[in-house]
Amino acid sequence: MKLEDLRKIREKAEKELKLREGKARVKIVVGMGTSGIAAGAREVLKAFIDEIEKRNLQDVIVTQSGEKGLSSHEPVAEVWEEGKPIVVYGNLTPEIARRIVAEHIVNGNPVTEYVIEVKEA
């Protein structure tokens, strides 16, 4: 492995870490409990991170949590926006995660067919 290869790996890791920390306009929380992982939450988390990075959205972070108590709807993710109710999505796939980024995060229109709960922040 060359020094340039190591530099690229470090830069990629720093970008991913930046997507998981800090203060942002939008925070996406993916449930990564046992049932979520079994249902595909890792792929959903990766799809959110990839789509946000692809669109170069600097004000969005993606993080994870444990069980949400919604195992029949796994994988689940919450979208937190400052001053707005929390939107909980369920039965997610990587394709739906990409659609949530495009329609909800970028254009401000929640993808209603996958919303399972809306709660006050």
Give the pLDDT confidence of 102-117 residue by residue, as tens digits: 999 999 999 999 999 9
Q: What is the pLDDT of residue 11?
A: 80
Tens of pLDDT along the chain (121 residues) come to 888 888 888 887 776 666 556 668 899 999 999 999 999 999 999 999 999 999 999 889 999 998 888 889 999 999 999 889 999 999 999 999 999 999 999 999 999 999 999 998 7
What pTM was computed for the model? 0.80
Question: Any idea which residue has 């870490």 for tokens?
Answer: 17
